[in-house]
Structure formats: C-alpha cells, structure tokens
Amino acid sequence: MLRTILLLMASAMFVLAEENLFEPLPTIIKSDTEKVALGRLLFHDPILSKDSSISCATCHPLINYGVDGLEKSFGVNGAIGKRNTPTVWNARYNFSQFWDGRAKDLKEQALVPITTSFEMNETLDGVVKKLSNDKNYTKYFQRVYDDGVTAANIADAIAAFEMTLVTPDSKFDLFLKGDKSALTPQEQEGLSLFKSKGCVACHNGINIGGTLYQKIGVFGDIPSGSDDLGRYHITKKAFDKQYFKVPSLRNVEKTAPYFHDGSAATLREAVETMVDVQLGRMLEEKEIEKIVLFLKTLTGKVHE
C-alpha cells in the first residue's frame, strides 16, 4: 500500500511542469550586513566551545560544502556525535533543522550545538560571559543590538549569517531558468528517471528535499542496520520511529558520506540503497548511472 501511495505521488508530480516541481535558488540574498558579519565571526570562532577547541566551522567547513566528510563529527575532548553532520549550505530552505527536526528554524538550531555535551559542551551563560569579557565582541554586539550580548542575540547573528549560505547557479538552476542546454542529454535522462521512478515524491521544491519527514527503510533496512529511532526521540509517538527529515540533495555530490548515520560512502551507493529500501525497485546499471549524473548537476557555487 505504501509503495502504491509513493508511486502515485511521484506520478502526480511527474505531470507537473518543472517550474512547479522545482525552483532555482536566488542569486541575491537580502541581509543585514552588520549582523551577518557578526554571525560570520561567531560561526568561525572556537570561543563558543567549552575549551575553545572547536567552532561551528569545524564540523561545517564552508569551502568543503558545509560538511567535514566524517561519518560522525568530533566534539570537545574527542566526543563522537550520534549522527552524520548535515550541510549548512541552503539550510534556510529546510522546513525544520536537524535530522529529527528538533529545531524549527536556524535561530533555534544555532544554540543547540553549543550546549550539547558531545559537541561544544558549553553553557549559554558561559558563552555570554566569555563574549561579554571580550572588548571587541562587546563593542560589536552593542553596535548591532540594543541589549548587547545575550544568548538570543548570539543565535540571531549566527542565523543571519547562515541565511546567506546559498549555492546558486548549479547546472540544474540554469536549466530551470530556461537554458535547456545546461544539462546534457544523459543528465536530462537522469532527471526524467529521478521523476518517473519516484525519487521526486520526497525530493522536490527549491531545496530538492528538506520539506517533510519520511521513514528510512520503507521496504527494508538500510545496509548499516541502524537502530536510530529518529523523530520518535522528539515526539515519543510510535508512528515516528525511524522517521527523519528528508535531506536536501543540493550539492549532494560534495557532501559524502550519506544518510543520518553516514553509512553510505559514495553517491552511487546512496542512490542504490534508496532505490531499494525507499522505492522497492530494481533499476538497471545505466539507470543508476544516469540518476547519479543528474544529481551531480545540483552542485552550486560556494563562498566564504
């Protein structure tokens, strides 16, 4: 029954025009320059961690498309995270943040790593105190915020910076804007397969994902056999067991390893697994190759 529903969803989406199914990323993002500059400083400053050893950029190096390439990231004192680190690029377009959606937006998300024991392992009071004792930060915060250094303002500044992290002008964006020569015939065949085989049922919209929760392993377990219950840890509802936020596929070529547990080392492996356990399908080798070729057209431009 679930397979039938997913395939019907995919079929319905297939008949829509590309401009309704997908949307190109904007090339210009409006922002508060001063606030963004402060947020950029905070994002790259290890002062936010208890022992000043790691920053947001440690796990989310921007030049590396916002990921560290590890199955699970390291925090203070070598603590190991519980899930794969998602990219911060284009995170503004996700309908919630984190794999389990425990933060509704980037402001709410910004403070969580600071206070998580296996990440920065600091307290909000501790961070506010350290920043308040720094003359440069004190002046900066007072210039941007009437009430100076507060936890809420720290979150607001970091979120303002992260809102500017958009990777426009991928080959697919150019294609969506009308340049049909931006994709090769094989890449266009990959797009058609991406839609007709059902991938698009979950991966659509401006972020090509990030718009809903879905159970991982609809037709079988992923090869790692992960027992992570996902969103259930947040809602405590039995229905939410093994449900996770569907990730964006933008820049997916650059953000290995894949899945919430980082268990898929290559993009091809990830596609093969998803086709099997999410769609319950068997595709020919050439079809897999063409879908991978299409996914590589989703790589956009990054900036520091």
List residues with catalytic annotation. Answer: 119
On the 0-12 / 13-18 / 19+ scale of CB atoms within 10 A, 236 is exposed
The token pair at 164 is 């500017």
8 A C-beta contact, residue 290 and residue 189: yes
Q: What are phi and psi of 85, to 5 degrees?
A: -75, 120
Separation of CA 193 from chain center: 23
The Cα 3–Cα 24 span in angstroms is 29
The token pair at 241 is 């067991």
The Cα 46–Cα 55 span in angstroms is 4
Which residue reads 């933060």 in tokens?
Answer: 103
Amino acid 51 reads D
- Give, rounded to a whole angstrom, the gap between the first and last alpha carbons of the chain: 46
The Cα 70–Cα 182 span in angstroms is 32
The Cα 191–Cα 111 span in angstroms is 38
